[in-house]
Structure 1
Amino acid sequence: MRLFPGMFIPLAAQALLAAVVPGGLLVWNMHNGQQIELAQRDQERLEGFVSTAGEALAAGKPLSRLIPELDQRDPRLAGRIQLANADGSPIAGPASSNPPRAERPLKLNGQTVALARIVREPTLTDSDRNFLATQYLGIAVIVTGLFALLLAAAYEFARRWSKPQLELYRLSREIVHGDHDVDIEERGPAEVVATSRNLQRIASQFSRLETARRTWLVSIADELKRPTESLAVHLDKLAAVQHPISADLATGLEEDQRRLSQMAEDLSAVALADLGRLPVNFSQVDPRALIHNAIWGNAKRAEGQGVKLETSTLPQYTILVKWDGARIEQLFGALIDNSLRYTPRNGRIVLGLESSRDAWRLIIDDSAPGVDVMLAQRLFEPFYRSSDRPEDSAAASGLGLATARAIVEAHHGRIEASRSPIGGLRVTVILPAEPPRA
């Protein structure tokens, strides 16, 4: 979670802004102060020039000689003074179209004979440059120090503020992932501690509800098994009476009993898997034999629906893996039952077995219609049906593929759904040849 960087970066930007803006204002203020000081110096120097020039004019010196003498006497005004007539036309000195920095009248016997102007910017001396460099360096040091201080404060604030938020995030993530036994730290602001306690109470309530739900499912599945087994016995007795019932009625009753029995088995497997207690007994089995047994067990039903049940890509040699044979047969039964439910007459269901390093890939394909690839993984959710047709809903418990997933996960494998190359659904099961060692 990027909570800390997400908070620290804006605070660091604000710290930079808070340091740079005052530094810029200091530079601007120092620049303006220097300009004012230079202007005052020019005013004072111009006053001195006007006084000296007035004395020179009284002594009979012409105006044209005043500027060259000034250039030799005062280098700070050299090349910057212009003498002009009252109408502004230049008499001596450099020409300039810019407004004068300073201007004073040059008088003789109380009469203005010329205007003395400073028309050029002053040239900074080495002492001026050294002074400015010292000032700018001082401002840079102040700005850098202020930024470092604000950055450290921003880091500490972000760290302290984000820590309780990260703790709340941790608690909520654990609850979402199903870990309801959460621990909280009684530290941080009162609001955060109170929120953590509420999350802990919610997790505890979820845990009780989830445990109760799974326990009820297991109990219901066990209770459902008894009447279905009893129903099978009673049907056998009913078939042996002196006046047997019709073949269609017997077939219908037998199919209903099979569905109830399968529903009870599926519900029990899903519920036990939710509790993490699905029993699996690993022993050496031959996957090819399990596939042939599944085909033989469903051949009559497939033939009755006009569906061809066949195999492909089966190895020609004996394979020994360490699986729970009964559970794998239940897995195949659930997968074939799901395909039979949606495969139309004259369709095909193909079972295959391929080697995949230290695992085996079990593949079952069926004919069109297929399923939306975006919804394929939802097929393994309990009670999810890909069809809204009433006849499909009546014939399905919605637990077959959920049962398949529970059995696969108990074998430390994975199950996936995709589009089949023969037009319908492909279910791929990948199981390790042996369970991982604890």
Structure 2
Amino acid sequence: MRSRLTFTLSAWLIGVVAVSVLAMGSFTSWHLSQGFTAYLQARDSERFDKFVALVEQRLAVGPSALQGEKAAPDMRDLLREFALAEGLIPLGSKPPQGRPSHEAPPGAPNPRPPPPGAGEGFGSRVALALPDGRSWAGPPISLEETGVVERPVKVAGETVALARLRPLTQAADALEAQFLTQQFAGIAGVAAGLFLLALVSAMWLARQWIRPLVAVQDATARIARGELSVRVPNARSDEIGDVMRNVNAMAASLQNIEGARRRWMADLSHELRTPLTVLRGEIEALVDGVRPMTTKAMVSLQEDTLRLGALVDDLHLLAMADLQPLPCRFEDTDASEIVQGVLRRHALAATDAGLTLNWANGHPPSAPLHGDPRRIEQVLNNLVQNSLRYTDAPGQITVDLKSTPECIQIIVEDSAPGLEPQDMSRIFEPLYRADSARSRHNGGSGLGLAISAAIVHAHGGLISAHPSPLGGLRIEVDLPTQPTLLK
């Protein structure tokens, strides 16, 4: 996984960065080229206007301004003067050696700048033409060429010539070409540097992301093998950290479930072994003749069998409750009448145990409820029997009933002894007993509260345990008056 996922993430990151860098470099190069060309064209236009003004000045002062085609001006002198005026060549520089600039070769017109193919300097792209369009001075430039700019040359308000400028198609001189080359090289260098940085960053980021995922993979593989104590070291606060924390929470939950399963099996075997041992001992005594076969002996065997059958029924009930909600027969009933019946049934047992069992706030009014009266009565019987079994004498047990149109609340609380806070949330687990005064020697299988919780859940209600102001345990049962049936 490590090599495959690292390679995939690195390749994607590098690919995205490479495409981005290439796109940005291409756009920057194109934009620079276009912008530089526009700058050169604007500079050309400005120079061309100045050159036209210079030609007008020179033709205005010379007697040959209106003498026709043979009196064409010397373009080299004009361009040299224009270059000196623009600062393109230093002042005091000498003209090229050879034939004087004002002389033309025998049988030829006035000297002209280099032909168009000799370069793309300003002088090679500017020319003068007569008003009728015929070439007059400089290289022949036709208006049919793309992008040619034409300006009239006027003397005393009359157009005596036409100045034409061929557009620039590339850098005009070596310095400008060198400038563009340097810019393109710089862009290419930055792109290469970014690509290398992306390569290193992609590998580093991929490893940073993959390392915790590999740890999660190793941990989940060990958990699948049954090593539920495995935990993933986690110091991240992002989504990967959430995954690692969830894996740790899952492992802890599975560890708790496995521990509960093992305790359940141990407790279950103990609970079944005790009555079976007693029953087997009595039967062996009867078989060996140690104990006579009397009606009393048979009654004792019957009671042991009934207790064992009740325990098995309770275990089966809890097992079914884990698979699906307990089957209940819902009907309209009165919770107040159910509570009164439970109190009457246990009044004598409470008196014999040295306890008082009564209402907390007097006889409650009617409390209509849609539920299974037999199951609700079973819940109250379990709660009251739990208090009778674990409350020290002299003590008291109180039952309270509160009713609203939406909910019925039944509260059963007793006096000392109480439970430790860590035991409050676990007393509804099957076969759970706290290691305090509420222990096995007081009797009971440890299934009553678990069964009560399953019944309350089947009614869509809640059951919870809290410390009682009386010094013992307070159990609250909240039942909706119109429960939504669980599926």
TM-score, L = length of structure 2: 0.42
Larger radius of gyration: 2
